[in-house]
């Protein structure tokens, strides 16, 4: 039986049907209806954050919050190439210039010791990325931002529910973007959100995602359309009831992986971050000096009907569309390039059985081919 790299968490069919049942009475399917408002309120409570703005997907959430910061057109934004395409695309589509900072080789987040050297008089913001559920060095990033008067917007697509020293990751920086894509720890089928503490951002973000409409005859802003539908919100309401149980199941899978793969020569696993409550979003393994290369492990798993992912490979600063940018080129971020060439994320989802984890590890360790 094949094993995919991920599998969407879903409630029981009957639970979702019950949740959407009243939509057939109201016929209110979008435009921030009752489900949308309820999910927004419940997420503000779950994430212990002041404000949540919901979106139809995480990418538009990121584009909108970047725009809401009123960063000067053509200004530079320091970010990392060790991320999904969306992060860099959102910066460029917002009329800004990405400046690629290398990552550290411990948790694969932005290397805070290299940020200040990249700051110029054109720098307006930092967009760090929480990776695989590992969170950035938020204290040092904020110190640098405060010193240089920069905005900080976190790409927290991988970090839903993560808590550092008792503080939810949703509260760091000026804002954080979360993805609620079907493959994430918490999903609304497609979807996303922005969390923030500045109340004035709420109206701006509402304007941006709903054509700037403020009333039947009032359009105050040149906005677009990025609203979350009621069906998405309903899925979110169902999944939120079970997310803690889903994270607990993920934890059991991760612990089984660690049991098999820890202390194996040539296999590097991220250490658990201190004072961090993880969401166990992904399980990255770096093959460095192992008997098989990363690509050989990938193919070996594939031949056994197991789908892993080279995540993140290639780096965004090596994309064809960014070849003419001043800081483009994977060779300029050598640590990120080194990890990207060797990392593999193994299958991880709440419904993955421990027996399947055993099977995956046996293939990697050469016990079953």
Residue 1 lies in a domain: no
Same domain, yes or no, for 231 and 249? Answer: no
Same domain, yes or no, for 182 and 280? Answer: no
SS3 assignment, position 24: helix
Same domain, yes or no, for 199 and 297? Answer: no
CATH number, domain of 270, equals 3.90.1150.10
CA distances (Å), 144 to each of 96, 148, 149, 167, 313, in order? 20, 6, 8, 20, 29
Residue 369 lies in a domain: no
Please report the beta strands in 156-228, taking only residues with DSSP state E, as ranges in sequence order.
163-164, 167-168, 175-179, 192-196, 213-215, 218-219
SS3 assignment, position 264: coil
Rounded to whole angstroms, how far apart are CA atoms 3 and 270?
23
Same domain, yes or no, for 54 and 195? Answer: yes
Task: Find out whether 32 and 202 touch, Cβ atoms under 8 Å.
Answer: no
Residue 124 lies in a domain: yes
Q: Does the predicted model carry a pTM greater than 0.95?
A: yes
Rounded to whole angstroms, how far apart are CA atoms 99 and 118?
7
Same domain, yes or no, for 254 and 232? Answer: no
Same domain, yes or no, for 224 and 251? Answer: no
* Total domain count, the chain: 2
Same domain, yes or no, for 199 and 153? Answer: yes
Residue 333 lies in a domain: yes
Return the structure tokens found at 291: 């008997």
Same domain, yes or no, for 281 and 340? Answer: yes
For β-strands 76-79 and 123-127, DSSP reports them as: parallel
Same domain, yes or no, for 337 and 195? Answer: no
Q: What is the DSSP letter of 315?
A: -
The residue among 219, 238, 257 that closes a domain is: 238
Same domain, yes or no, for 339 and 254? Answer: yes
Same domain, yes or no, for 82 and 185? Answer: yes
User: Which residue segment(s) compose the domain that 173 sits in?
Assistant: 13-238
Same domain, yes or no, for 43 and 142? Answer: yes
The residue among 215, 238, 261 that closes a domain is: 238
pLDDT tens per residue, the chain (369 residues)?
A: 899 999 999 999 999 999 999 999 999 999 999 999 999 999 999 999 999 999 999 999 999 999 999 999 999 999 999 999 999 999 999 999 999 999 999 999 999 999 999 999 999 999 999 999 999 999 999 999 999 999 999 999 999 999 999 999 999 999 999 999 999 999 999 999 999 999 999 999 999 999 999 999 999 999 999 999 999 999 999 999 999 999 999 999 999 999 999 999 999 999 999 999 999 999 999 999 999 999 999 999 999 999 999 999 999 999 999 998 888 899 999 999 999 999 999 999 999 999 999 999 999 998 654
State residue 361 phi and psi, 5-degree precision.
-65, -35
Residue in this structure with the two tokens 């056994």, named with its chain if needed: 304
Residue burial 31-57, b: 16+ Cβ < 10 Å; e: rest = ebbebbeebbebbbebbebebbbbbbb
CATH number, domain of 80, equals 3.40.640.10
Residue 277 lies in a domain: yes
């Amino acid at each position: 039986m094949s094993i995919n790299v991920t599998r969407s968490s879903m409630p029981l069919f009957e639970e979702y049907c019950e949740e959407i049942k009243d939509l057939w009475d109201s016929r209110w399917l979008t435009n921030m209806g009752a489900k949308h408002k309820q999910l927004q309120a419940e997420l503000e409570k779950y994430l212990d954050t002041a404000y949540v703005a919901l979106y139809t997907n995480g990418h538009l959430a990121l584009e909108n919050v970047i725009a809401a910061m009123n960063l000067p057109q053509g200004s530079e934004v320091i970010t990392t190439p060790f991320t999904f395409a969306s992060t860099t695309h959102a910066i460029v589509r917002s009329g800004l210039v990405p400046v690629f900072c290398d990552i550290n080789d411990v948790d694969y987040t932005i290397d805070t010791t290299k940020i200040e050297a990249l700051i110029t008089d054109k720098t307006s913001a930092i967009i760090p990325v929480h990776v695989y559920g590992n969170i950035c060095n938020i204290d040092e990033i904020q110190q640098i931002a405060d010193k240089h008067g920069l905005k900080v917007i976190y790409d927290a697509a991988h970090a839903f529910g993560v808590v550092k020293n008792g503080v939810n990751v949703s509260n760091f920086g000026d804002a954080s973007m979360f993805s609620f894509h079907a493959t994430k720890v918490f999903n609304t089928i497609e979807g996303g959100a922005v969390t923030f503490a500045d109340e004035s951002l709420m109206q701006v973000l509402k304007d941006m995602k709903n054509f700037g409409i403020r009333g039947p005859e009032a359009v105050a802003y040149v906005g677009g359309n990025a609203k979350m539908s009621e069906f998405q919100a309903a899925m979110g309401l169902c999944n939120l009831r079970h997310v803690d149980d889903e994270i607990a199941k993920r934890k059991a899978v991760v612990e089984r992986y660690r049991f098999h793969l820890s202390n194996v020569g040539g296999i590097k696993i991220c250490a658990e971050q201190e004072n961090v409550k993880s969401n166990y979003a992904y399980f990255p393994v770096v093959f460095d000096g192992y008997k098989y290369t990363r690509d050989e492990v990938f193919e070996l798993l594939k031949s056994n009907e197991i789908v892993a992912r080279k995540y993140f490979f290639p780096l965004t600063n090596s994309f064809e569309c960014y070849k003419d940018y001043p800081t483009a080129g994977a060779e300029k971020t050598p640590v990120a390039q080194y990890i990207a060439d060797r990392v593999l994320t193994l299958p991880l989802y709440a419904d993955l059985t421990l027996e399947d984890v055993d099977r995956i590890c046996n293939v990697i360790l050469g016990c079953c081919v």
